[in-house]
Structure 1
């Protein structure tokens, strides 16, 4: 009985591998959520009704249902219609789309707040609406929402533990495998928590650096 961290070193390779998978799925899902959020924001604001209405349903689906259920639908449900995704891909898509919807709400608000004169000036210079959005409006809008999107990225990192339920060997699942062999849950969950904290600290430092750079560019 009692704590025994002496069993941890024998499984550090398993934990490190899980941490690498956690970082990989966080990066992939984070990129999808960022660029997907921009894409969804443009659809919501400038798409025609035939495009906006399906998107609103999609938005309602991802904001109104649990992330865990969405992962199950993507990984187990799509197989029934012939789409068999690897667990890592399904997890990255599920996390990415889930947070893309929330990022879209932030970016829509930022786009609307950009001075309309910016668009008019860009059009006067001969840019199409799409070019004006891509080169003038969206960069300004994204710059203004870096802090809240950064918070969503931190939340995405924490929620990445949910992909363990579909078999992605990330940090939580790796810890569970070690626990299954040693029957020492506290020790390995504590080590997993320490790894999550370290990854979180690095992410926060990167985001703060990015925020400072965008602030200087204003």
Structure 2
């Protein structure tokens, strides 16, 4: 039996779960250490004891949730609404690009080129300051539509890639038994394309959660806006931003873990 090269054993060891977790902890420790050294050089006075009350407070009436949990609820609500709408937009644009209609393909291409080449902040300003007065959109509706349109353009490519990944023989078999195009998509193509779309779609969910922070520039109430308001009242810049970052990371990690579970479940079914 041939000996395993030393570089192969090192690579295998470095890719193991314990080693990966250790590397992650070392990186996090390094980042925290740099932040602490920087704050120490600035003469910053840490006041972590003031942070818990922004999560909850206990009083005669029981436990009351603080600003940060309510901000997280706002972020999740905003992201969920925008993502559901983005799924519809993305599917529509993907079907238009895959259709035989020249006009449909042209409209989808123009939409994608405009949205993908425009910074999200600029797009938000367009929806709020331009479309808002014209169509009577409030800041919350403008934020949901902006996020939905921006991520809908990205999701459309995920849909298109997943649909194209399904074997052409599936189309031919469905056509041979007289199924219509909508029936083929609904019962044959889209169910089979889920396993191809799940990993990148998870990335879009995480990106949606993170992108929602940009609506703080127009004062929509969500996690980042709450953090900015707390800092303006308390000047606890380091403590609050570290806390907000940790909350975002916890949410996105939970989403990633759930998506990994779904991927394994689909793999078992296959």
Provide the TM-score with structure 1 as the length reference: 0.92
- Structure 1 unaligned spans of 5+: none
1:54 equivalent in alignment to 2:97: no
| Match runs of 1:18-33 below 5 Å | 18-33=71-86
1:201 equivalent in alignment to 2:257: no
Structure (1 or 2) with the greater helix fraction? 1
Structure with more relative contact order (C-alpha pairs < 8 Å, separation 6 or more): 1
* Partners of 1:206 and 1:32 in 2: CA distance: 21
Question: Higher mean Cα deviation, 128-137 or 44-53?
Answer: 44-53
The CA deviation at 1:31 is 2.1
1:70 equivalent in alignment to 2:113: no
Q: Aligned residue pairs: how many?
A: 217
Partner of residue 35, structure 1: 88
| Match runs of 1:1-218 below 5 Å | 1-12=44-55, 13-46=66-99, 48-81=101-134, 83-218=135-270
The CA deviation at 1:47 is 5.1
- Contact residue 41 and residue 108 of structure 1 kept, 8 A: yes
- Contact residue 165 and residue 196 of structure 2 kept, 8 A: no
The CA deviation at 1:70 is 0.9
- Contact residue 132 and residue 138 of structure 2 kept, 8 A: no
Question: Higher mean Cα deviation, 146-155 or 23-32?
Answer: 23-32
- Contact residue 33 and residue 99 of structure 1 kept, 8 A: yes
The CA deviation at 1:149 is 1.4
* Partners of 2:174 and 2:52 in 1: CA distance: 60
After superposition, the CA RMSD in angstroms is 1.6
CA change 1:51–1:72 in 2 (3 A) is same
**What do residues 11-51 of structure 1 show as CA deviations (whole Å, max 9, x unaligned)?**
33111111111111122222223332222111111151222
CA change 1:84–1:215 in 2 (3 A) is farther
From the CA coordinates, give the structure whose radius of gyration is larger: 2
- Structure 2 unaligned spans of 5+: 1-43, 56-65
Provide the TM-score with structure 2 as the length reference: 0.75
The CA deviation at 1:91 is 1.6
